[in-house]
Amino acid sequence: MPPTSVRMYSRAFLREGKELLSLLNRQRYKEMMLAPLEKKRLRLSLLDMRFHLRDLIGSGHLKTVNTPTGLLVRVSKD
């Protein structure tokens, strides 16, 4: 059984990822520019928003699209 601090960290990590996904799902087209998204704050987050974005992009939950104005982060339909 993992120590309490590890369990608390893993629960917080999953909760913060879900919070970021729900933030994007509330957007009209389920997408947002990367720069303003990185400036947003998650409630009670232990880690930086950039860490969660990279984690969700790497796991395939989010996709990035190059646009003339910068990177666009979009919720993956798969």
Does residue 49 contact residue 36 with C-beta atoms inside 8 Å?
no
Q: What is the pLDDT of residue 78?
A: 73
pLDDT exceeds 80 at position 18: yes
Of 40, 66, 6, 9, nearest in space to 74 by CA: 66
Domains and their CATH numbers in the chain = 4-75 (1.10.10)
pTM: 0.85
Q: What is the pLDDT of residue 45?
A: 79
